[in-house]
A = this chain, B = another copy of it.
């Protein structure tokens, strides 16, 4: 069993750890300290050693921050975690605040006074993020001070886990579709076009993609933690802990890639003196900028040059993820069959649901990891957007409830992410109406054709309009990018209310996951992955259009659909989708499951 159901933290963390942190602040003469969720690698998922926010506060969400002052402290979370945070932190010690609306900058402006010194670890903050904080500190007259010794790490001391040392393996061309030398040549050209001699790459996903390697330093993502300097001519220096280097790696990397130790990075940056060096101020931490400026390099601030080519999957990657989705879809379909039959009478709890689904995925024999801890939310737990069942929160499903299951698998040929919401027993009329509104939004975003240049922000409303017109909405993004046996959340494209300037391009994979959440009662989310492709020509059409092709293949529970609310076109989409599910998944599953699948994929 890969997933566990223990709490990694609890509300007592605050009372146990805050005094230790405050003692370190006194020692360093600091009035406060910033604790972001992000670590040195600006990852979403962290090795245990870098779970500083959780250790300091008890809050375990995948995004957030804290500010610790001598006499007060606050934890900042976004809309996904407003319910969860209240259960995880000690309200006597921490104020819970909105990460987005005002966020840390507003807190700094309001809660610091002139002359106060607030420390930060320059390895943990990007210059873009620091800029806002510095403006806010200036308003109150406080100053931000970079500190070399992180007070949280000092307070954590012996109890802090070791940094991971997972082996790093080649990711062969049969999965990557492009040799590292070719990637380095074209990214190097882009670096030169941006006016730079070299680029410093610090995103583990960029290291993984550019060098065609995969590691295991971070749970749920096969990321190798490391850094690289890529020269415009395609040669590179790659900084990896020698303990992680597997025997076949040096030969696989070839003689254009020099392997070096992490301890040699600072000297290598100093060696860039006089060079024009591209680095991403939204991705790489301030520490790199300080080091490059100290070295006398000329910093070129620009987006990570691997981000866009990594996002646009090549034909081998697309074929791979289609194969992965067909395999994963069969596992998920077996699970949905179990939910629709046996589970309707045995009424399993969430832990049993998660275990069952993991077993079906494990049985494929090709599962490398889950893409993320499976969310299984029965009844009211479904309304907690980023819920993860634990032994403490575990609920048994009940007739008349909805069960929301959001899950995914990491396979060598692709990464999956899918949400299905199914009825246990008979759903209410309201549940059916809301489910159908969510489905209408999902279909509008799946079926849209759009011209080159359109961004995810521009398409977001399609998934929300049916809800908005009924006075409803959901408080999370509509879609995120997904990697190819890499992170399940991957930029730079995004489908969300928040403005995003990145145009959707052929080969990009995005999720399509509108939802509806009724606090204390139930949650609904329908999520497929889809990729951008050239749309087929339409009779009378004049302009080339892009469109989406759906990757995820698993039935959508028709017992929660109010078919009278669907238009002719929407029914046609749903029926065509179910026909494809049956055609691809049917032959893979057992006769009993196939018979059930044939039934639930019948046209509405």
**Residues in chain A within 8 A of chain B (CB atoms):** 430, 433, 444, 447-451, 453-455, 457-462, 465, 468-473, 497, 499, 501, 535, 537-538, 540-543, 545, 567
Q: Which of B447, B499, B542 contacts A499 (CB 8 A)?
A: B499
Q: Closest CB-CB distance, A317 to chain B, in whole Å?
A: 27
| 12 additional A-B residue pairs with CB within 8 Å, beyond A462-B465, A470-B541 | A447-B469, A448-B468, A450-B461, A450-B468, A451-B473, A454-B497, A458-B497, A468-B545, A469-B538, A470-B538, A471-B535, A472-B542
Residues of chain B lying within 8 A (CB to CB) of residue A537: 471
Contact B470 A451 (CB under 8 A): no
Contact pick for A449, options B462, B469, B497, CB 8 Å: B469
Contacts of A471 in B (CB 8 A): 449, 535, 537-538, 540-543, 545
CB distance from A67 to the nearest CB of B (A): 23
A465 surroundings in chain B (CB, below 8 A): 444, 448, 462
On whether A468 and B451 interact (CB within 8 A), knowing A457-B457, A457-B458, A567-B567, the answer reads: yes
A519 to chain B, nearest CB (A): 10
Q: How far is the CB of A512 from chain B (nearest CB, A)?
A: 15
CA distance A473 to B458 in the complex (A): 15
Look across to chain B and name the residue whose beta carbon is closest to the beta carbon of A458.
B461
A540 in complex: contacting residue of B450, B470, B501, CB < 8 Å: B470
Scoring A444, A461, A472, A543 by chain B CB atoms within 10 A of each residue's CB, the highest score goes to A461
Give CA–CA (A342, B535) in the complex, Å. Answer: 46
Show 6 A/B contacts (Cβ-Cβ < 8 Å), sorted by A. A433-B540, A448-B461, A449-B471, A458-B460, A470-B538, A471-B537
Q: How near does chain B come to A497, taking the closest CB pair, in angstroms?
A: 7
CA distance A125 to B108 in the complex (A): 37
What CA separation (Å) do A3 and B136 show in the bound complex?
A: 54
Minimal beta-carbon separation of A238 from chain B (angstroms): 32
CB neighbours of A450 from chain B (8 A): 461, 468
For A455, A459, A541, which residue has the most chain B Cβ atoms within 10 angstroms?
A: A541
Our pick among B472, B499, B541 for the contact of A543 (Cβ within 8 Å) is B472
Q: How far is the CA of A561 from the CA of B447 in the complex (A)?
A: 24
Docked CA distance A453–B462 (Å): 16
Beyond A470-B540, A473-B451, whether A499 also contacts B545 by CB under 8 A is: no
Q: Which of B433, B459, B497 contacts A461 (CB 8 A)?
A: B459
Query: A468 is contacted by which of B430, B449, B473 (Cβ under 8 Å)?
Result: B449
**In the complex, chain B residues whose CB is within 8 Å of the CB of A433:** 540
Query: A103 to chain B: closest CB distance in Å?
Result: 15
